[in-house]
Amino acid sequence: MSLSEIGHGAEDRCTRCGACLAVCPVYNVLGHERFSPRARVQLVRVCQQPDHAFLSASRGFRDAFTACLQCGACDSVCNAGVDTSAIIRSVREEFLVQKEGWKGHLLDFLGTAEKSKLSETVFAMLARIPVESGLWQRFSSFGARKTGRIVPLPAPESFLAQKDRGKKNIANAKTVFFTGCIQNYLYPEIAEKVDALFSAELIIPVDQGCCGLPAWASGYRVRAQETVRRNLNIILANNPEAVMTACSSCAFMIKQWPELFEPGSEESKKARHVAGILKTFDQMALEHGCVGSSVALPLPADARVAYHISCHERFFLKDHKRRLEALKKITGRKISPVESCCGGGGFFSVSCSGLSRDVFARLRVEFAGKYDVILASCSGCLLQMRSLLHKSSLTSEETQAPLILHASEMLSARKL
């Protein structure tokens, strides 16, 4: 695809009004026009001119299109209908992805792992994560580029591996539980709690894979298609009435699945069907009568609780108000919203780790000293906030950091 096909006239529709600058987390941290959404759209225009085409191979071009969280804030305020986040994804796909694909990331990681003499146990844990998982991007970048991020190692046994060992057939189960990689490999305790709440209802296909979001957002469209095609076949083989996920980024991606395939194709129809029967954890919890009065809450009555609205919920799914009300009912708590971007953005948190921290610092100001618990429905936000707040050696400031929990964890007997 050429740059004029990628822009598709958007670069002419852009009136350069600047509305997108005010909401872009990256621009707000860096303050340079070249990292604004508007500048990226105009860069697509400039590079279409034959005497400026060479710029598309420049470091500045790569940096401008790498430093984007794919949060969608810019799209949401543009009166000219410019879909900047989609333009950035297409530029990544055509100009920035490594030719060797994720295999390159994997080889990077293995090389580094060998040098750092990781134990065989750790290797064995990592080996269980399929190459298709977006987690490889995190591990590979963590190791190879020394980002200094605390990326938790996989749990000794993934949630789906546990399920595979103790397979049970539930005759009346009609809802497929789609776990996503972070809950499956890093935080299986969250998936276990969700399973414990609705177990009579859930079908859990143990061979399900990554939702495809890390690949799609990074420009690896073919990889995302392969992953989604496989998931569709696995999910639909169970003939479910509903598909439930407890991760809002997986929910966002499942809603995008139809866009990965030719309109009208069989795959597009299957993807549309699955997107149409999708439900979220909070919806299912309400359906099952999980309300504050009927569950054991582990928190002090006066604990101050906030709900972090992820960018996917706020700008794409647009279901954050409903979620907030549902969470209040489920937990029986007063819950305040916090809205700033966490700076996670999937791969952004490792490819632009310093910038990611600076974006997070703004969110931290929003909740510092005000809350005891921050609830997150997005596994990526949960990972980002836990990684940056709860380090291995605690300082006095960090001990005061709020607990970062998934809503399902408030419904369990956890002691503060």
**CB contact set of 345 (below 8 Å; sequence gap of 6+):** 68, 69, 70, 71, 217, 311, 356, 380
Q: Is 24 in the site for ligand SF4 (CB under 6 A)?
A: yes
Q: How far is the CB of 259 from ligand SF4 (least distance, A)?
A: 17
> Residue 253 and residue 255: Cα distance in Å, rounded?
5
For residue 232, the Cα-to-chain-centroid distance in whole angstroms is 19
Q: How far is the CB of 25 from ligand SF4 (least distance, A)?
A: 6
Burial class for 94, CB neighbours closer than 10 Å (0-12, 13-18, 19+): middle
Q: What are phi and psi for residue 306, nearest 5 degrees?
A: -125, 160
Q: What are phi and psi for residue 245, nearest 5 degrees?
A: -130, 145
Q: What are phi and psi for residue 125, nearest 5 degrees?
A: -65, -45
Residue from 4, 15, 233, 294 that binds ligand SF4 (CB under 6 A)?
Answer: 15
Q: Is 183 in the site for ligand SF4 (CB under 6 A)?
A: no
Q: Is 18 in the site for ligand SF4 (CB under 6 A)?
A: yes
Among the residue ranges 21-29, 138-146, 163-171, 211-219, the one whose residues contact ligand SF4 (CB under 6 A): 21-29
| Residues 355 and 32 sit within 8 Å (Cβ to Cβ) | no
Beta carbon nearer to ligand SF4, 307 or 315: 315
Q: Is 37 in the site for ligand SF4 (CB under 6 A)?
A: yes
Q: Is 84 in the site for ligand SF4 (CB under 6 A)?
A: yes
| Residues 347 and 102 sit within 8 Å (Cβ to Cβ) | no
322: number of Cβ within 10 Å: 15
Q: How far is the CB of 347 from ligand SF4 (least distance, A)?
A: 13
Among the residue ranges 65-73, 104-112, 146-154, 255-263, the one whose residues contact ligand SF4 (CB under 6 A): 65-73
Q: Is 72 in the site for ligand SF4 (CB under 6 A)?
A: yes
> Residue 273 and residue 27: Cα distance in Å, rounded?
38
Taking alpha carbons only, the member of 212, 219, 192 closest to residue 95 is: 219
Among the residue ranges 67-75, 160-168, 173-181, 241-249, the one whose residues contact ligand SF4 (CB under 6 A): 67-75
Q: Is 336 in the site for ligand SF4 (CB under 6 A)?
A: no
> Residue 65 and residue 61: Cα distance in Å, rounded?
6
Q: Is 70 in the site for ligand SF4 (CB under 6 A)?
A: yes
Among the residue ranges 35-43, 245-253, 254-262, 349-357, the one whose residues contact ligand SF4 (CB under 6 A): 35-43
Q: Is 29 in the site for ligand SF4 (CB under 6 A)?
A: no
Residue from 3, 29, 39, 71 that binds ligand SF4 (CB under 6 A)?
Answer: 71
Q: Is 355 in the site for ligand SF4 (CB under 6 A)?
A: no
Residue from 7, 29, 43, 85 that binds ligand SF4 (CB under 6 A)?
Answer: 85
> Residue 160 and residue 84: Cα distance in Å, rounded?
37
Beta carbon nearer to ligand SF4, 24 or 242: 24
Residues that bind ligand SF4 (CB under 6 A): 14-20, 23-26, 37-38, 41, 68-74, 77-78, 80, 82, 84-85
